A and B are shown apart, each in its own frame.
Chain A
Amino acid sequence: MSSRFRTSCAFALVVALAMTGCNREERHSRSKPLGETVDTGASPDTIIPGGGTPQPLDPRAALYDNNSPAIAEGQQLFNKMNCVGCHSHGGGGMGPALMDDEWRYGGRIDQIAATIAEGRPNGMPSWRGKLTEDQIWKIAAYVRTLSGLPSKDVVGSRSEGISGPTPQTLTPHQQPRPSDTAEQ
């Protein structure tokens, strides 16, 4: 083999490997209908009596958690579905702040999706049947960016309109804590 052939082979291999890592840009516009019957009951962090492992992460998380189009669509849905009306742009209002590290009902993406779908006792409405599962997961993916949880190459770098909190690329990563000092 000539050295030129070897170089182009190596180059092609590198490019091929890089392409497989592009999950963050994969659009699931024709996502398989997720169905209303699939269990989204990811419970918040609780005591597990008798020991054992906590509930594993829902397999759908990988499709949404670090996915750019999902986060971008989630942001649009967050604005249009009036989440901003209660939670503002993460700071809270009628509803609690979503940009801090306290997650009363859990801060994993599947727990956030469960919160949106089921509603919660102190005023969070239940969106099951009003939004599709796909839309709920997209909103959950966006909510995670408010506390800087997804990786920074996935999120948007521009804040629109009135200058709100810092753009998502500058939002510091705040590890979710299942605490509840913001009592209602």
Chain B
Amino acid sequence: MTQMSRFLVSVGSVLLLCSLASACQRKTTETTPAAAPGKAASAQSAVSADNGNWEMPGKNYASTRFSALNEITPANANRLGVVFTFSTATTHGFEAPPLVVDGTMYLITPYPNYLYALDLTQPGAPAKWVFKPKPAAASQGVACCGPVNRGAAYSNGRIIFNTLDGFTISVDAKSGQQVWRTAVANMQKGETITMAPLVAAGKVLVGDSGGEMGVRGSLTALDEATGKVAWKAFTTGPDKDVLIGPRFKPFYPMDRGKDLGVKSWPPDAWKTGGGTVWGWISYDPGLGLIYYGTSNPGPWNPDQRPGDNKWTAGIFARDVNTGEAVWFYQSTPHDLFDYDDINESILADIPWGNGRRPVLLRPDRNGYFYVMDRRTGQVLSATPYGYINTTRGIDLRSGRLVYAAEKEPKPGRVVRNICPASPGMKDWNPAAFSPATGLVYIPHNNLCQDQVVMEANYISGTPFVGADVKMYAGPGGNRGVFTAWDPMKRRAAWEIKEDLPVWSPALATAGNVVFYGTMDGWFKAVDARSGRLLWRFKAGSGIIGQPISYRGPDGHQYIAVVAGVGGWAGAVVAGKLDTRDPTAALGFVNAVKDLTTKTTAGGMLYVFALPH
């Protein structure tokens, strides 16, 4: 060959190889899409560049649950396959996401709260260590909705998580040794902890559970390095307990007043008033504020607690350093139906006038999708995202939810066809927000119920409810829906009806593929723009856990989820309840009597990727 031809051949082959390489495998890149006009976008202050890890359950402080990895697309998603699996050795309902930090995957299980570390750099991801906190077995008796755990958080070389019996534990991420352990909740009073802590600005934020047990709800901030209590904000009681001070400026007059945490209750009722913080916390580093919602007031029987029952069933914005309240909005005053407000607050920036407005996007339990200004707590819009007959809407001038009087529960009388049912239009399982499409992907319910209330007896450490409930499918007969909601147009872009309630969180990716799981074990990938089903996989157990997407050590995009049905919706399977009693599991058993034929209990990690 001549020199020229040799040169041409080598250049050509290099070019050919390069093009072949790029055609076969587009390696994962980071692309955070720019905001298009008329579309919601990531909150600039709360979303940092995606490093391919998954370090906290919400993915970032804005709780978008959006991965910027884009290797998996609608074109190739149907080729996803299992890469490895791992049995967590628990069968109680798996709600937590796996965490992935620089080549190690961390799994926190439901009771007994094992923390596993898997080495992703080795084939088959063998476990490096397991940390066993050994929580008190009796705490299972005071956990209303399964002894679940909603996740751990990684920060500064430590994995921090909560145990069912009320401890927050910080473990060294490399060695698995305990660094500190702090008692936050008291099991004897009926308190447990199921939520995932948020680590922000050097504080570990931990909320208690037990709104059905007559506990007093609170949010505690621990020092990240030492575990010592930095501040604690109660949800009920006098202003000094709720950390309400001069900075407190609620937007609406109904939330203004002195000591409303006492005055909006009959005497002493606030001491057993619930308002626990068992759900999600978001953080805006720019404003220095954390946002979280409080649970239902206790007991469920509203007759025992006339008044607005502040500060339950509402959203707080607090200063992360001191805990002082900056604003509060009560989504559901004097809650009648267990419409907790603990759902996620997704931070986003939306076009408004000539600029952008920092907002919270909240698919609420009471059935409304709220868009709220996160600086002040003003409700910009509240639109039903499903069928509601318990309320007539929100009066945007006063901010108040308007109840339908005929649905109000009265002692001794059965009220029928209450929609949405007590798990709400959507329960704890969080939605995902894709800045690429501007849509919020909401996995939720379509359930109605019959309810009768009676007087609840308070005995600490036992349930404080006072209601019998029986749930069933809502209009249409499908018990679940997966909705892609446009917060700007205030309507659904598309929706997928599911037979069973959709109790798994959602995952959105930059490749425009959205993932979620069903209660009978189907893990699904759908097109983010159209909702078309791209791929599905039948896991060994129903899926109620958060799916994640991470960049593996080899640079490829992986999808991981743990399948293990349970929680409130799956209690009939995880708790082996009897389907002949429709009021079992606070009425949920009646709605999912067929679940025992469709899935079994489990706790298995599945990791998927494209073939490579």
Asked if residues A92 and B585 are in contact (CB atoms below 8 Å), the reply is: yes
Q: How far is the CA of A123 from the CA of B144 in the complex (A)?
A: 12
Residue B584 at the A interface, CB < 8 A?
yes
Q: Which residue of B lies closest to A161 (CB)?
A: B452
Partner among A79, A88, A123 whose Cβ is within 8 Å of the Cβ of B581: A88
Asked if residues A91 and B577 are in contact (CB atoms below 8 Å), the reply is: yes
What are 11 A-B pairs with beta-carbon distances under 8 A?
A88-B585, A89-B468, A91-B580, A93-B584, A94-B140, A161-B452, A162-B414, A162-B468, A162-B469, A164-B583, A165-B581
**Contacts A82-B463, A85-B463, A162-B452; A122 near B137 (Cβ below 8 A):** yes
Contacts of B454 in A (CB 8 A): 79, 161
Q: How far is the CA of A95 from the CA of B15 in the complex (A)?
A: 67
**Contacts A81-B457, A162-B583; A86 near B463 (Cβ below 8 A):** yes
Q: How far is the CA of A82 from the CA of B463 in the complex (A)?
A: 6
Asked if residues B576 and A125 are in contact (CB atoms below 8 Å), the reply is: no
Q: Which of B143, B462, B581, B586 is most buried by chain A, counting CB atoms within 10 A of its CB? A: B581
Asked if residues B463 and A162 are in contact (CB atoms below 8 Å), the reply is: no
* Closest beta carbon of chain B to A120's beta carbon, Å: 9
Asked if residues B141 and A80 are in contact (CB atoms below 8 Å), the reply is: no
Q: Which residue of A lies closest to B585 (CB)?
A: A93
Contacts of B589 in A (CB 8 A): 88, 91
Asked if residues B462 and A81 are in contact (CB atoms below 8 Å), the reply is: yes
Q: How far is the CA of A63 from the CA of B137 in the complex (A)?
A: 34
Asked if residues B584 and A121 are in contact (CB atoms below 8 Å), the reply is: no
* Closest beta carbon of chain B to A83's beta carbon, Å: 8
Q: How far is the CA of A123 from the CA of B187 in the complex (A)?
A: 10
List 13 additional A-B contacts (Cβ < 8 Å) besides A91-B578, A163-B470: A82-B462, A82-B463, A84-B463, A89-B581, A93-B571, A93-B575, A121-B138, A123-B142, A161-B412, A162-B414, A164-B470, A165-B581, A182-B576
Residue A44 at the B interface, CB < 8 A?
no
Q: How far is the CA of A88 from the CA of B461 in the complex (A)?
A: 16
Q: How far is the CA of A11 from the CA of B361 in the complex (A)?
A: 81
Contacts of A141 in B (CB 8 A): none
* Closest beta carbon of chain B to A99's beta carbon, Å: 5
Q: Which residue of A lies closest to B581 (CB)?
A: A91
Number of interface residues, chain A, beta carbon within 8 A: 35
Q: How far is the CA of A161 from the CA of B301 in the complex (A)?
A: 15
10 interchain residue pairs of minimum CB distance: A123-B141, A85-B463, A91-B584, A91-B581, A182-B576, A97-B578, A82-B462, A92-B577, A88-B584, A123-B140
Residue B212 at the A interface, CB < 8 A?
yes
Chain B binding surface, main DSSP class:
loop
Partner among A89, A125, A181, A182 whose Cβ is within 8 Å of the Cβ of B575: A182
Q: How far is the CA of A42 from the CA of B144 in the complex (A)?
A: 29
Q: Which of A72-123 contact B (CB under 8 A)?
A: 79-82, 84-86, 88-97, 99-100, 119, 121-123
Residue B579 at the A interface, CB < 8 A?
yes
Residue A31 at the B interface, CB < 8 A?
no
Q: How far is the CA of A86 from the CA of B576 in the complex (A)?
A: 14
Partner among B144, B461, B469, B585 whose Cβ is within 8 Å of the Cβ of A125: B461
Contacts of A161 in B (CB 8 A): 412, 414, 452, 454, 468
Q: Which of B412, B461, B468, B470 is most buried by chain A, counting CB atoms within 10 A of its CB? A: B468
Contacts of B139 in A (CB 8 A): 123
Q: Which residue of B lies closest to A86 (CB)?
A: B463
Contacts of B191 in A (CB 8 A): none
Residue B55 at the A interface, CB < 8 A?
no
Q: How far is the CA of A85 from the CA of B465 in the complex (A)?
A: 7
Partner among B138, B450, B464 whose Cβ is within 8 Å of the Cβ of A162: B450
Residue A37 at the B interface, CB < 8 A?
no
* Closest beta carbon of chain A to B88's beta carbon, Å: 15
Partner among A100, A122, A162 whose Cβ is within 8 Å of the Cβ of B578: A100
Number of interface residues, chain B, beta carbon within 8 A: 40
Residue A184 at the B interface, CB < 8 A?
yes
Partner among A80, A94, A166, A182 whose Cβ is within 8 Å of the Cβ of B142: A94
Asked if residues B582 and A163 are in contact (CB atoms below 8 Å), the reply is: yes
Residue A124 at the B interface, CB < 8 A?
yes
Contacts of B575 in A (CB 8 A): 92-93, 96, 182
Residue B459 at the A interface, CB < 8 A?
yes
Asked if residues A99 and B137 are in contact (CB atoms below 8 Å), the reply is: no
* Closest beta carbon of chain A to B89's beta carbon, Å: 12
Q: Which residue of A lies closest to B462 (CB)?
A: A82
Residue B451 at the A interface, CB < 8 A?
yes
Q: How far is the CA of A119 from the CA of B576 in the complex (A)?
A: 20
Residue A130 at the B interface, CB < 8 A?
yes
Which B residues lie at the A interface, using CB under 8 A? 137-144, 212, 412, 414, 450-452, 454, 456-457, 459, 461-465, 468-470, 571, 575-586, 589
**Contacts A97-B576, A162-B451, A162-B468; A92 near B141 (Cβ below 8 A):** no
Asked if residues A121 and B585 are in contact (CB atoms below 8 Å), the reply is: no
Q: How far is the CA of A184 from the CA of B91 in the complex (A)?
A: 9
**Contacts A85-B464, A85-B465, A91-B584; A121 near B579 (Cβ below 8 A):** no
Q: Which residue of B lies closest to A79 (CB)?
A: B454
* Closest beta carbon of chain B to A176's beta carbon, Å: 14
Q: How far is the CA of A165 from the CA of B583 in the complex (A)?
A: 8
Contacts of A125 in B (CB 8 A): 141, 461-462
Contacts of A96 in B (CB 8 A): 575-577
Contacts of B469 in A (CB 8 A): 162
* Closest beta carbon of chain B to A62's beta carbon, Å: 29
Query: Residue-by-residue, is A161-184 near B (CB-CB < 8 Å gives 1, otherwise 0)?
Result: 111111000000000000001101
Q: How far is the CA of A161 from the CA of B141 in the complex (A)?
A: 26
**Contacts A94-B463, A125-B141; A85 near B414 (Cβ below 8 A):** no
Partner among B138, B452, B459 whose Cβ is within 8 Å of the Cβ of A82: B459
Q: Which residue of A lies closest to B92 (CB)?
A: A184
* Closest beta carbon of chain A to B35's beta carbon, Å: 46
Contacts of A95 in B (CB 8 A): 141
**Contacts A97-B577, A181-B576, A184-B140; A88 near B583 (Cβ below 8 A):** yes
Contacts of A97 in B (CB 8 A): 576-578, 581, 584
Asked if residues B461 and A162 are in contact (CB atoms below 8 Å), the reply is: no
Contacts of A184 in B (CB 8 A): 140
Asked if residues B585 and A82 are in contact (CB atoms below 8 Å), the reply is: no
* Closest beta carbon of chain A to B209's beta carbon, Å: 12
Query: Residue-by-residue, is A17-51 near B (CB-CB < 8 Å gives 1, otherwise 0)?
Result: 00000000000000000000000000000000000
Asked if residues A92 and B470 are in contact (CB atoms below 8 Å), the reply is: no
Q: Which of A107-157 contact B (CB under 8 A)?
A: 119, 121-125, 130
Contacts of B414 in A (CB 8 A): 161-162
Q: Which residue of B lies closest to A166 (CB)?
A: B580
Contacts of B450 in A (CB 8 A): 162
Asked if residues B140 and A122 are in contact (CB atoms below 8 Å), the reply is: yes
Q: How far is the CA of A91 from the CA of B586 in the complex (A)?
A: 10
Q: How far is the CA of A165 from the CA of B584 in the complex (A)?
A: 10
* Closest beta carbon of chain A to B216's beta carbon, Å: 18
* Closest beta carbon of chain A to B125's beta carbon, Å: 27
Partner among B141, B456, B457 whose Cβ is within 8 Å of the Cβ of A122: B141
Q: How far is the CA of A89 from the CA of B578 in the complex (A)?
A: 10
Q: How far is the CA of A163 from the CA of B587 in the complex (A)?
A: 11
Q: How far is the CA of A84 from the CA of B576 in the complex (A)?
A: 17
Q: How far is the CA of A99 from the CA of B589 in the complex (A)?
A: 14
